[in-house]
């Protein structure tokens, strides 16, 4: 297949490119490097031992995107590009709606203009909001609590309407739970800008000595040890889910939302302990107040992913933590040379 990958230089995109190239697909990455580095693509080429095409551009640039579609003629799109920081989306809602929603509309317009009818979209479990029941299945009510989450839900709706209006158009909306981990080689991984918002990169930076201690956001939740529980999924399993989604597009009718998680959940303190085991380092932490907007527990019902795509997660917490540690210890300052970072 010829696959156009928006946001392919980012964390999840780069990990998906490796198996995509290894499976023999022809790939073009379209990315503006807003939150990523071209170095990730150089390392993807080495890991896959294959080349890929790259266009540096913004998904809101209709003219450039249209020219890219016309010359590459993709059979399908995997759409990762967008902004994803929940906290930042509260302070910059227009930026989030402009990049995520306007960018996705531009992308769908270019697909329509160039006869491309298949898309796999990076959605998020955050579209569910406060749980009525757990695990969340795909029929759970959708009540996102942040501009970021609402942008994901709006894009889901737009894509669904687009598939209804265009006979033959097909879309899979992958609702990721909590992606963590790295390629086992330690060559590519998650490289957040500035202070990490998410748990796993924060723990990894404490273990390597870049930060003093983890601040645990609350230990008075109704969970096993009082700290927040999440369904962490290894980015390598998530990468495979995208290949399974591409293979499934011609077997579905219209648009399907599918949870991508493990069906298991771990608390913050369980993650700390697993990381200490995997790294042999200690991860000091302090207990702080709850983070506004956090839910106590999230966990995926993964039956639909198995039934529709024949996919299920295979890797557990130990593999997630040891891959993260490989990446963090080999690249203490991510893709940037050490002297240029804090």
- Give catalytic residues, as residue numbers: 148
> Could you give the count of Cα atoms lying within 13 Å of 82 in the half-sphere of its Cβ?
30
> Which of the choices ligand NAD, ligand UDP, none does residue 199 contact, using the CB cut-off of 5 to 8 A by kind?
ligand UDP
Compute how many residues bind ligand UDP; rule: CB under 6 A: 14
Q: How far is the CB of 167 from ligand NAD (least distance, A)?
A: 27
Neighbouring residues of 223: CB distance < 8 A, sequence distance ≥ 6: 229, 267, 296, 297
Q: Which member of 28, 32, 223, 328 binds ligand NAD (CB under 6 A)?
A: 32
Please select the residue that binds ligand UDP; options are 37, 185, 198, 264, rule is CB under 6 A: 198
The 3-state DSSP class for residue 271 equals helix
Name which of 226, 108, 120 is nearest 176 in CA terms: 120
Of 44-52, 96-104, 185-193, 208-216, the segment contacting ligand UDP by CB under 6 A is 208-216
Q: How far is the CB of 12 from ligand NAD (least distance, A)?
A: 4
Structure tokens at 325: 């540690």
What are the angstrom distances between the C-alpha of 139 and each of 88, 133, 303? Answer: 28, 11, 12
DSSP string, 127-141: GT-S-SSSSB-TTS-
276 touching ligand NAD, by CB under 6 A: no
Q: Which is nearer to ligand NAD, 232 or 325 (CB)?
A: 232
The footprint of ligand UDP on residues 46-105 (CB under 6 A) is none
Output the smallest distance, CB 286 to ligand NAD, in A: 24
Determine how many CB atoms are found less than 10 A away from the CB of residue 293.
Answer: 14
Residue numbers 229-268 binding ligand UDP by CB under 6 A? 230, 268
Check residue 74 for interaction with ligand NAD (CB under 6 A). Answer: no
What ranges in the chain are assigned the alpha helix state H?
11-22, 38-48, 62-72, 86-91, 93-96, 103-113, 147-165, 199-207, 235-248, 268-279, 303-309, 317-330
Choices 33-41, 250-258, 288-296, 309-317; region in contact with ligand NAD by CB under 6 A: 33-41
Instruction: Decide: 153 and 179 in contact? Cβ < 8 Å.
Output: no
Which CB atom, from 240 or from 286, has the smaller least distance to ligand NAD? 240
- Per-residue contact string for residues 47-66; x = within reach of ligand NAD by CB under 6 A: -----------xxx------
Residue closest to 342 by CA, chosen among 212, 203, 186, 183:
212
Q: How far apart are CA 127 and CA 289, in angstroms?
A: 24
Closest C-alpha among 46, 52, 51 to residue 31: 52
Nearer to ligand NAD, 33 or 281 (CB): 33
User: Under the criterion CB under 6 A, does residue 36 sit at the interface with ligand NAD?
Assistant: yes
> Which of 1, 19, 33, 154 touches ligand NAD by CB under 6 A?
33
Size of the chain in residues: 342
**Strand partners for 124:** 176
Question: For residue 221, how many C-alpha atoms fall within 13 Å in the half-sphere facing its CB?
Answer: 26
166 binds, among ligand NAD, ligand UDP, none (CB under 5 to 8 A by kind): none
**One-character DSSP codes across 89-106:** HHH-HHHHIIIIIIHHHH
Which does residue 35 bind out of ligand NAD, ligand UDP, none, counting CB within 5 to 8 angstroms by kind? ligand NAD
Interface ranges with ligand NAD (CB under 6 A) = 6-7, 9-13, 31-36, 58-60, 80-84, 99, 103, 122, 124, 176, 179
Give the binding site for ligand UDP (CB under 6 A): 178, 197-199, 202, 214-217, 228, 230, 268, 291, 294
């Amino acid at each position: 297949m010829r696959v156009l990958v928006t946001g392919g230089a980012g964390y999840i995109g780069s990990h998906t490119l490796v198996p995509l190239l290894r499976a023999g697909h022809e790939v073009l990455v379209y990315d503006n490097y807003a939150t990523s580095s071209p170095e990730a693509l150089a390392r993807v080429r080495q890991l896959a031992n294959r080349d890929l095409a790259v266009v540096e551009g913004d998904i809101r640039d209709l003219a450039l995107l249209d020219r890219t579609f016309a010359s590459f003629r993709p059979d399908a799109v995997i759409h990762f590009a967008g902004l994803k920081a929940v906290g930042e989306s509260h302070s910059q809602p227009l930026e989030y709606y402009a990049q995520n929603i306007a960018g996705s509309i531009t992308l769908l317009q270019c697909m329509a203009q160039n006869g491309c009818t298949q898309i796999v979209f990076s959605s998020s479990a955050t579209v569910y909001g406060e749980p009525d029941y757990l695990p969340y299945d795909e029929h759970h009510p959708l009540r996102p609590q942040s501009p970021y989450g609402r942008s994901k839900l709006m894009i889901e709706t737009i894509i669904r309407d687009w598939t209804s209006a265009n006979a033959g158009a097909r879309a899979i909306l992958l609702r990721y739970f909590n992606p963590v981990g790295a390629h086992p080689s330690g060559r590519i991984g998650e490289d957040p800008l500035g202070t990490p918002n998410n748990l796993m990169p924060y723990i990894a930076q404490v273990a390597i000595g870049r930060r003093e201690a983890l601040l645990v956001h609350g230990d008075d939740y109704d969970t096993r040890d009082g700290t927040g529980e999440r369904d962490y999924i290894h980015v390598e399993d998530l990468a495979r889910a995208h290949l399974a989604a591409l293979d499934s597009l011609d077997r579905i009718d219209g648009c399907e939302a599918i949870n991508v998680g493990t069906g298991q959940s771990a608390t913050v303190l369980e993650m700390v302990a697993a990381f200490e085991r995997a790294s042999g380092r200690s991860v000091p932490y302090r207990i702080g107040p709850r983070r506004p907007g956090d839910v106590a527990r999230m966990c995926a019902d993964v039956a639909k992913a198995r039934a529709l795509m024949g996919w299920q997660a295979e890797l557990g917490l130990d593999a997630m933590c040891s891959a993260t540690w490989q990446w963090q210890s080999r690249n203490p300052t991510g893709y940037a040379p050490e002297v240029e970072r804090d």
